[in-house]
């Protein structure tokens, strides 16, 4: 449509079009608007008629970094999105029916040692000196006791449960304050230059949105990156069996707890995410093992409080887009692929996508080296998270259904098998460069799912029982004293949100 110039790809980027206004679209708009907004013309198009996926309410601590970058005030954000604090996820019945554990944020024990704390704990357990692994973690104990406060130094590592639709509205206001223009309309056609780059979006009313850079935030549709540019999805369903969810909201019947409940079922798992004003519920399941009606019945049989919304079935594919930056189009959010919500990582991946885009922003024009770097980093990041999620399904004692039999006996990526073998044999875990989940996350989940390391690091044997007992008890005592001083979580949220 537009005249093509010989070296169009190296033209400066000034006009940014964000296609889609879900969590991904508005997070992108908020961050680009605040940081680069002065030099850019940023427009976001979304369709009220199409709507958003409407789920995605549990986050991880990296969201604090995003808020800092986007200039978001925490109290204002929490008050407007009915948010509460999150300290981890409680996995119920994942290792086996009736066996629970918490994967909490923060650190267990201390890291002032040559070997990780788990080696001292393993030795302590052998000598019958150690308690539950979680008793040495402040965040975990605070979660169990339903307490929270911002602590002055070495505070709690936390994230939030938030209302997804209120969050999009909040980010919209914030983005508009920084000059982002919102356009309501349905994208009817994507127009391309002669060289294949995207030139403009034609809306259903005939209007044209021309741009230099297009951010595809159209959700699972992937209107630009998939339908237009033809970038395929890499299917991971042979490792991640769940491919559907049913979501609904209920009234709160008790003060909100600061963790997500992830409750294993014979064919998947159920989430409960409490907010200030309601609870988000859903069940994630494998359509090869159960039908929608049975999954919904299992969900309805295990919720409390009046149901506020009609149950909504959401089909999905566990996948990664082969490349997420192609030509002058970057896919952020569900358009870039999807890893199921077991560890609340999708909003984090949106934020990583936006920050990486900022770092590689093509002010002087789109360059292939930036594209390659962006795609490689995204690929690595997704694959690390993928392995961590598969771990929960693979390492289990559950043998009560074909679903769990399939999970327990499946082959997993070599990268994951290596980690499982290393931990089982030696108690060692190493975080990969730029990996989201640190050693403590891997250890909590591997122990929680039932791996008992056969050995510990020799350094732990250099402590005698008296020393080891003192060392473990000092940590545990410090944790317990701190937790005892924290106010109830709900009281703290109410006070904190009352004075934004």
User: Residues at the annotated binding site?
Assistant: 21-24, 86, 334, 343, 347
Q: Choose between 46 and 144: whose C-beta lies nearer to ligand FAD.
A: 46
* Local structure of residue 487 (DSSP, 8 states): P
Q: Choose between 354 and 416: whose C-beta lies nearer to ligand FAD.
A: 354
User: What Cα–Cα distance (Å) separates residue 425 from each residue in 5, 117, 350, 422, 455?
Assistant: 61, 16, 36, 5, 6
Which span (1-9, 49-57, 71-79, 368-376) binds ligand FAD, by CB under 6 A?
49-57
Beta bridge partners of 245: 284, 314
Residue 47 interacts with ligand FAD (CB under 6 A): yes or no: yes
Read off the tokens for 121: 């704990």
Which span (14-22, 76-84, 91-99, 106-114) binds ligand FAD, by CB under 6 A?
14-22
Binds ligand FAD by CB under 6 A, chosen from 16, 17, 18, 22: 22
Residue 209 interacts with ligand FAD (CB under 6 A): yes or no: no
What is the rounded CA–CA span in Å between residue 137 and residue 141? 6
Going by the annotation, the residues of the binding site for L-tryptophan are: 343
Give 262's contacts (C-beta < 8 A, 6+ positions apart): 89, 90, 91, 92, 94, 269, 270, 271, 342
Residue 315 interacts with ligand FAD (CB under 6 A): yes or no: no
Q: Choose between 135 and 340: whose C-beta lies nearer to ligand FAD.
A: 340
Q: Choose between 9 and 237: whose C-beta lies nearer to ligand FAD.
A: 237
CB distance 369 to 418 below 8 Å: no
Which span (46-54, 233-241, 404-412, 486-494) binds ligand FAD, by CB under 6 A?
46-54
Nearest to 471 by CA among 483, 482, 455, 460: 460
* Contacting ligand FAD within 143-182 (CB under 6 A): 164
* Local structure of residue 343 (DSSP, 8 states): G
Give 33's contacts (C-beta < 8 A, 6+ positions apart): 42, 174, 175, 177, 178, 179, 180
Q: Choose between 159 and 468: whose C-beta lies nearer to ligand FAD.
A: 159
Strand 337-338's sheet: what is its strand order? 233-235, 319-321, 337-338
Going by the annotation, the residues of the binding site for 7-chloro-L-tryptophan are: 86
Q: Choose between 23 and 249: whose C-beta lies nearer to ligand FAD.
A: 23
**Smallest distance, ligand FAD to C-beta of residue 273, A:** 7
Binds ligand FAD by CB under 6 A, chosen from 8, 17, 18, 20: 20
CB distance 275 to 288 below 8 Å: no
The two beta strands, 213-216 and 15-19, are parallel
CB distance 249 to 278 below 8 Å: yes
What is the rounded CA–CA span in Å between residue 281 and residue 270? 7
* Contacting ligand FAD within 213-272 (CB under 6 A): 217-219, 221, 223, 245, 247
* Contacting ligand FAD within 360-389 (CB under 6 A): none
Residue 81 interacts with ligand FAD (CB under 6 A): yes or no: no
Rounded to a whole number, what is the distance in angstroms from the first to the last CA of the chain? 49
Which span (114-122, 211-219, 225-233, 422-430) binds ligand FAD, by CB under 6 A?
211-219
Residue 434 CB neighbour total at 10 angstroms: 10
Which span (52-60, 228-236, 428-436, 463-471) binds ligand FAD, by CB under 6 A?
52-60
Q: What are phi and psi of 205, to 5 degrees?
A: -85, 5
What is the rounded CA–CA span in Å between residue 288 and residue 268? 11
Q: Choose between 108 and 344: whose C-beta lies nearer to ligand FAD.
A: 344
**Smallest distance, ligand FAD to C-beta of residue 26, A:** 8
* Contacting ligand FAD within 290-309 (CB under 6 A): none
The site for ligand FAD, by CB under 6 A, has a size of: 39
Nearest to 213 by CA among 361, 334, 321: 361
Which span (126-134, 288-296, 327-335, 428-436) binds ligand FAD, by CB under 6 A?
327-335
Binds ligand FAD by CB under 6 A, chosen from 36, 50, 69, 410: 50
What is the rounded CA–CA span in Å between residue 452 and residue 427? 8
Residues designated catalytic: 86
Residue 64 interacts with ligand FAD (CB under 6 A): yes or no: no
Q: Choose between 132 and 202: whose C-beta lies nearer to ligand FAD.
A: 202
Side-chain-facing half-sphere of 406: CA atoms under 13 Å: 15
Residue 138 interacts with ligand FAD (CB under 6 A): yes or no: no
Going by the annotation, the residues of the binding site for FAD are: 21-24, 334, 347
Binding residues for ligand FAD, rule: CB under 6 A, are: 20-25, 45-47, 50-53, 55-59, 164, 186-187, 217-219, 221, 223, 245, 247, 282, 314, 316, 333-335, 341, 344, 346-347, 350
């Amino acid at each position: 449509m537009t005249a093509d110039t010989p070296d169009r790809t190296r033209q400066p980027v000034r006009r940014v079009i964000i296609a889609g206004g879900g969590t991904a679209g508005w997070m992108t708009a908020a961050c680009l608007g605040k940081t680069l907004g002065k030099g850019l013309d940023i427009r976001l198009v979304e369709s009220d008629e199409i709507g958003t996926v409407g789920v995605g309410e549990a986050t991880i601590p990296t969201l604090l970094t995003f808020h800092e970058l986007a200039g978001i005030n925490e109290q204002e954000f929490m008050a407007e999105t009915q948010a509460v604090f999150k300290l981890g996820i409680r996995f119920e019945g994942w290792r086996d029916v009736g066996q629970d554990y918490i994967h909490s944020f923060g650190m267990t024990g201390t890291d002032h040692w040559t070997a990780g704390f788990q080696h001292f704990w393993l030795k302590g357990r052998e000598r019958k000196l150690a308690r539950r692994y979680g008793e040495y973690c402040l965040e975990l104990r605070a979660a169990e006791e339903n307490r929270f406060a911002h602590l002055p130094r070495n505070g709690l590592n936390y994230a939030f449960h938030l209302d997804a639709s209120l969050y999009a509205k909040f980010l919209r206001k914030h983005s508009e304050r920084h000059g982002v223009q919102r356009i309501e309309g349905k994208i009817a056609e994507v127009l391309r230059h002669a060289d294949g780059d995207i030139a403009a979006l034609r809306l259903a009313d005939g209007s044209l949105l021309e741009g230099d850079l297009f951010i595809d935030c159209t959700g699972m549709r992937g209107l630009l990156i998939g339908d237009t540019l033809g970038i395929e999805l890499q299917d991971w369903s042979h490792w991640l069996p769940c491919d559907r969810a049913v979501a609904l909201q209920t009234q709160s019947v008790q003060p909100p707890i600061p963790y997500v409940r992830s409750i294993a079922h014979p064919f998947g798992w159920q989430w409960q995410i409490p907010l200030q004003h309601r609870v988000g519920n859903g069940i994630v399941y494998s359509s090869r093992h159960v039908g929608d009606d049975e999954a919904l019945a299992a969900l309805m049989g295990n919720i409390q409080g009046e149901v506020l919304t009609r149950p909504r079935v959401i089909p999905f594919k566990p996948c990664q887009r082969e490349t997420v930056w192609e030509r002058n189009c970057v896919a952020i959010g569900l358009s870039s692929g999807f890893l199921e919500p077991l560890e609340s990582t999708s909003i984090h991946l949106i934020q990583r996508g936006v920050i990486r885009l900022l770092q590689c922003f093509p002010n002087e024009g789109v360059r292939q080296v930036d594209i390659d770097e962006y795609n490689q980093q995204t690929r690595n990041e997704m694959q690390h998270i993928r392995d961590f999620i598969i771990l929960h399904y693979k390492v289990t004692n559950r043998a009560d259904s074909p679903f769990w039999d399939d999970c327990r006996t499946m082959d997993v990526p070599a990268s994951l098998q290596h980690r499982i073998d290393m931990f089982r044999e030696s108690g060692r875990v190493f975080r990969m460069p730029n990996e989201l989940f640190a050693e403590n996350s891997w250890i909590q989940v591997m122990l929680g799912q039932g791996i008992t390391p056969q050995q510990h690091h020799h350094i732990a044997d250099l402590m005698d029982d008296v020393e080891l007992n003192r060392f473990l008890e000092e940590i545990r005592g410090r944790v317990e004293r701190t937790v005892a001083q924290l106010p109830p979580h709900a009281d703290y949220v109410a006070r904190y949100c009352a004075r934004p």
